[in-house]
Amino acid sequence: MRQFEKRILCIGAGHVGGPTMAMIAARCPQYEVTVVDINAERIRAWQTDNLPIYEPGLLELVRSARGRNLFFSTDIEEAIDDAEIIFVSVNTPTKTFGEGAGKAADLQYWEKTARTILDASRANKIIVEKSTLPVRTARAMERILNANHRNIHFEVLSNPEFLAEGTAVEDLESPNRVLVGSSDTPEGRAARNAIVDIYAHWVPRERIVTSNVWSAELSKLAANAFLAQRISSINSISALCEKTSADVAEVSRAIGMDSRIGGGFLKVSVGFGGSCFRKDILNLVYICESYGLDEVARYWESVVSINEYQKRRFVKTMTNEMFNTVADKRIALLGFAFKKDTGDTRDSPALVVARRLIEERAIVVISDPKALANARADLSDAPPGRVVFEQDPYLAARGAHAIALLTEWDAYRALDYEKIFDSMEKPAFVFDGRNLLDHEALYRIGFSVFPIGKPPLKQS
């Protein structure tokens, strides 16, 4: 059997655990990297070429290391006992019950993992928080873990993950920064160096940043809050553009050229989604409230409120422009994933749009290149006959009164809209929730076109 220099384990084989460990294994062949999960189906999928998540380049990355030094397993206890370093990347969703419901992070998966680690360990270990967690969770983790009478020491570090879905492999290959937070004790510094050494195999040293544990935990929540805040800021301006005939693309270009502001993340849309932004901001809000910082809490809460407003506004424009009723009208939703290049639909704005249209009694036809399985699960409770799933965008649009573009998949730009127009009911509408399409061209074909934050192009 091959001897590895180090044995690394990751608990949680999801969107973060799978890709991050595949990258570590690919870049560090001298380490054995094992990924475990309680979800046996997920683990089985990681062992095949039909991976449980879609990310460009991920299959090639996994295949480069799988079976060599990258392993997927459901034998959690044995893997814990074998490992020197354990990354924990289990889910930390918003709590749906009890104190803090709707805002606080639900730490039950996290705490269960801590207890499993405790029970299965027979030697000292470094525990790395990869999940996004409330600031000061590492303290709770340490208290649970180090309350053992077996003289085993657990050193808890925070190494939050900044990858974005859709570009996970790229982000892991060349991260803007890797953040490692540790205690300023001899054990803490030694553990920090061990984690820094892993990343230093492919990440330039100057991009590996160290801090105390609490700063690392809070930096991840704050980074997501800042990113979402930029989207809500430009989306709020888009509402004003629509009232004043300003063009939000021109406004965002002009403000983004200010080097103090920068041009990134200023793209208008139907709203942000994904499993993290809303959850992490609400968690930040809850933490602020629990420290009595109500003004700070309200400030960040408004980022989420604007996002909800933007989704509502989008559907309201649709119903208003379609003669104040969409009842029994077929409406094609192009895109259901929360962004392009992923099949992830968690907190996707498309879900809110679909549900509101269903409430208005429309017949919603959902099309997406990668997210249809998730869309089916998300809308499994929809009333019979109200939702149709159709992979082919041309078939989805056939007989529809309107198209709502909700995910910015590149392929949607290249569709033959003349052909689509010919197959639709008239008047035919396009509501572009991502400002992706060529609006003038669509107008020339005969569509009435409603972008976000720009004057609409209405057929007379």
Ligand X SMILES: NC(=O)c1ccc[n+]([C@@H]2O[C@H](COP(=O)([O-])OP(=O)(O)OC[C@H]3O[C@@H](n4cnc5c(N)ncnc54)[C@H](O)[C@@H]3O)[C@@H](O)[C@H]2O)c1
> Residue numbers of the site for ligand X (CB under 6 A)?
11-17, 37-39, 42, 76, 89-92, 109, 112-113, 131-132, 161, 163, 165, 275-276
Residue 129 bridge partners (DSSP) = 88, 158
Q: Which of 122, 124, 94, 119 is nearest to 109 (CA)?
A: 94
Q: If DSSP codes are grouped into helix, strand and coil, which group holds residue 432?
A: strand
Distance CA 429, CA 448 (A): 5
Q: How far is the CB of 415 from ligand X (least distance, A)?
A: 28
Catalytic residue among 10, 28, 241, 276: 276
**Does residue 276 have an active-site annotation?**
yes
For helices 137-146 and 108-120, give the axis angle rounded to 10 degrees: 30
448 neighbors 432 (Cβ within 8 angstroms)? no
Please give the residue whose beta carbon sits closest to ligand X in the complex: 14
Nearest CB to ligand X, comparing residues 16 and 25? 16
Q: How far is the CB of 160 from ligand X (least distance, A)?
A: 7
Nearest CB to ligand X, comparing residues 240 and 373? 373
Phi, psi angle pair for 147, to nearest 5°: -85, 45
Residue 211 bridge partners (DSSP) = 181
254 neighbors 261 (Cβ within 8 angstroms)? no
404 neighbors 331 (Cβ within 8 angstroms)? yes
Phi, psi angle pair for 395, to nearest 5°: -70, -35
For helices 58-65 and 17-27, give the axis angle rounded to 10 degrees: 50
Nearest CB to ligand X, comparing residues 38 and 388? 38
Q: How far is the CB of 161 from ligand X (least distance, A)?
A: 4
Nearest CB to ligand X, comparing residues 38 and 457? 38
Distance CA 350, CA 339 (A): 10
Distance CA 53, CA 42 (A): 9
Nearest CB to ligand X, comparing residues 18 and 188? 18
Q: How far is the CB of 335 from ligand X (least distance, A)?
A: 18
Catalytic (active-site) positions: 276
